[in-house]
Structure 1
Amino acid sequence: MMMATTTRMLRCVSLVSIVIFAVFVSECSSQRSVFDPVHASIKNDIAQRVELNIWCKSKNTDFGHHRLTYGAKFIWKFKINFWHTTLYWCKMWWTDVNGKYTEGSYAIYKAKRDWDKCENECNFSVRKGGIYRKEMYNDDAYDLVYPWPKRLVTK
């Protein structure tokens, strides 16, 4: 009886070890890993002479208010938590040269949504049409991830 229990325990430990090993091998064999930091950036691509205001934060980190001139970037890095619930939220607003005010809020990074889209490099471009995310394997392609709300306020 004791021998059968010991054999079962050894099989169970072996199986668990194999699963853990397989997970680590798959993570280590890929070029990028969820254990590495994610580098994120938001670039003002709206227009010359248009300043983009952003306020980004997570549950634990508040980056405060930043003003980006045309072509400037806000850059930060972070690690994804164990549960893949890492979330960063940004509020953005700007006024164009004609006085048209645009504002919106967006969950700029959600680990469960974005890991497969950009892995460890998530680059966003803010444009007149909305917020665009750079495609992972195509330097020239961007996907619209958040169009600006239809209701715009004119000052």
Structure 2
Amino acid sequence: MIPFNNSKHGMMVSLILILMWLSEFSSIVDAKRHVRIINELDEGLTLTVHCQSKDDDLGVHQLAYNTSFDWGFNDNWWGTTLFYCHIEWLHGKKDFDAYNARKQQCVECWWTAKTDALYYLVYETGQTTTYEWQR
């Protein structure tokens, strides 16, 4: 019988535990996120949307009534993912963080522009927050 080396066994167990922890952490950090901005202003009113992160400019989009602009992404390893947007229409505008990993833990983050306000919905929980338009 070959003698069992405790230090090698301990090192192997530690390595397995670290790999399991990293795998679990990776699945949390790599959770796919989805942001949607919806124009529900009124028929005939266009919503201009410009969103970006530090690394990605998603461009300017003109949303007709009842259309949306969507994008998906994964959080970065540092937990600092941030997408910010400027939106405007005939009677208002708003600058806001569409997704901030340090503040929001939504998987489906929905922003709906209506004539009275901008509404943020965390799809998973149904929690809604209202933001007034800047005139």
TM-score, reference length from structure 1: 0.68
1:131 matches 2:126: no
Q: Which residue in the other structure is 1:111 paired with?
A: 101
Q: CA–CA distance in 2 between the matches of 1:54 and 1:128?
A: 15
For structure 1, the 5+ residue unaligned runs are: 1-5, 96-100
Deviation for aligned residue 1:16: 6.7
Residues 48-107 of structure 1 deviation map (CA, whole Å, 9 limit, x = unaligned): 221111111111111221110111000111121110111111101101xxxxx2111111
**What is the aligned residue count?**
130
Deviation for aligned residue 1:125: 1.1
> Which structure's residues are more often helix, by fraction?
1
Q: Is 2:41–2:65's contact at 8 Å kept on the other side of the alignment?
A: yes
Q: CA–CA distance in 2 between the matches of 1:86 and 1:25?
A: 19
For structure 2, the 5+ residue unaligned runs are: 1-5
Residues 18-58 of structure 1 deviation map (CA, whole Å, 9 limit, x = unaligned): 35524634775xxxx43133221100111222111111111
Q: Which residue in the other structure is 1:52 paired with?
A: 47
User: Which of the residues 34, 38, 58 maps onto 2:33?
Assistant: 38
| AA partner of residue 97 (structure 2) | A
User: Which of the residues 36, 57, 62 maps onto 2:57?
Assistant: 62
